Amino acid sequence: MSGAASTAGGSLLTLVAMVHMFEAADALAHLREADPTMARILASIGPYTMRADPEDPFRSLARAIIFQQLSGKAAGTIYRRFVALFADGTDAGTLVSRSDPDWSPTEGPFPLPAQVLAKDDEALRSAGLSRNKALSLRSLAEHFASGELGSEVFDEWDDEEIVTHLTRVRGIGRWTAEMFLMFHLRRPDVLPVNDVGINRAIMRQYGLEAMPKVEDVQRIGACWRPYASVACWYLWRTEDVKLLVADAPEAAGSAG
């Protein structure tokens, strides 16, 4: 590729990436005007302080695989052991909820895809990984090493294209792909309709008698677009801080 073509390609990627950027102030103004319940939540929680994942997408997705279906403490231990296979003594960082303002991206070195591929399954499993997770991490590394996944293509693809490509990796489903869109790529309009935390928060904050169905989440969240990701972050925060529902009827038989 010529220098001019390379420069043009880089400029195009920059323009595509900028399409997905958003100003928090614009998102908050939209949510306040569009949804009175969300306006109350915003006023109670305060500023939008979500912190993004580390810049390395391979690291972000590998961490997501390791943490699947495990408690934070157990997953953190395995994560540290995994990193230690490649760099002894590396700190895995602060293991708090990603929706918490105190959450911080992990620091220190992290293995490259080629380094993960160089380890056999027995070595990977020695960190405490299950067989399925070891295979999933190998599949992820293969996709990055081949160039099928990477920062440049993520900038080019829209949300659904990214979900489609990520779910080709063993062990990555739609929910994991949506979390990557929200927390790593900072895409503004992601609505994970099957997220338990979001659904529980919707039930409590919107006064539903039971956990919402997919169509309920879509109906309630329609007015949040094009900033559904920001609304979801605030819903997660209501669970983190145990935000009370304003003017909620007193539950029968509740303790005083």
Same domain, yes or no, for 134 and 91? Answer: yes
DSSP the chain: --HHHHHHHHHHHHHHHHHT---HHHHHHHHHHH-HHHHHHHHHH-S--PPPPPS-HHHHHHHHHHHTTS-HHHHHHHHHHHHHTTSTT------S-TTSTT-----S----HHHHHHS-HHHHHTTT--HHHHHHHHHHHHHHHTTSSSHHHHHHS-HHHHHHHHTTSTT--HHHHHHHHHHTS--S----TT-HHHHHHHHHHTT-SSPPPHHHHHHHHGGGTT-HHHHHHHHHHHHHTTPPPTTPPPPTT---
User: How high is the pLDDT of residue 1?
Assistant: 44
Same domain, yes or no, for 92 and 129? Answer: yes
User: How high is the pLDDT of residue 244?
Assistant: 54
Tell whether 253 is covered by a domain. no
Q: Residue 227 — very low, low, confident or very high, per pLDDT cuts 50/70/90?
A: very high
Is 13 or 68 the better-scoring residue by pLDDT?
A: 68
Mean pLDDT of 200-226: 97
Same domain, yes or no, for 65 and 161? Answer: yes
Same domain, yes or no, for 154 and 92? Answer: yes
Tell whether 73 is covered by a domain. yes
Summarize pLDDT for 118-165 with one digit per residue, the tens.
999 999 999 999 999 999 999 999 999 999 999 999 999 999 999 999
Summarize pLDDT for 78-119 with one digit per residue, the tens.
999 999 998 754 444 444 454 555 544 455 688 999 999 999
User: How high is the pLDDT of residue 114?
Assistant: 96
Summarize pLDDT for 172-184 with one digit per residue, the tens.
999 999 999 999 9
User: How high is the pLDDT of residue 54?
Assistant: 65
Q: How many domains does the chain have?
A: 2
User: How high is the pLDDT of residue 185?
Assistant: 93
Mean pLDDT of 65-70: 87
Domain boundary among 183, 211, 231: 183
Same domain, yes or no, for 234 and 135? Answer: no
Is 256 or 74 the better-scoring residue by pLDDT?
A: 74
Domain extent, residue 163, equals 57-183
CATH of the domain at 67: 1.10.340.30
User: How high is the pLDDT of residue 22?
Assistant: 77
Summarize pLDDT for 14-66 with one digit per residue, the tens.
433 444 567 999 999 999 999 999 999 999 999 999 887 767 999 999 999 99
Same domain, yes or no, for 111 and 226? Answer: no
